Amino acid sequence: MLHARIARFRSLEGGLHAAEGTVLDRHLRDALHTVMRGPYDWAPRSGRYGTGSL
């Protein structure tokens, strides 16, 4: 369900400039990561995304 919404959004996003597309991709990745991993997996010690390893 969420993946279908992201795919549709990406198809609509195709007409945007590269810089704007990059920003939107970053927001999509952050949102998808939050949905898939949960808000407790944000780990600043391991970089941008939690790798699951301490």
pLDDT at 11: 66
What is the C-alpha separation between 29 and 7, in angstroms, rounded?
A: 12
pLDDT at residue 49, rounded to an integer: 55
Rounded Cα gap, residues 30 and 34, in angstroms: 6
What pLDDT shows up at residue 26? 77
Query: In a structure prediction context, what are the per-residue pLDDT tens digits for the chain, which is 54 residues long?
Result: 677 776 776 666 555 555 556 777 777 777 766 666 655 555 555 555 555 555
Residue 46 is predicted with a pLDDT of: 53
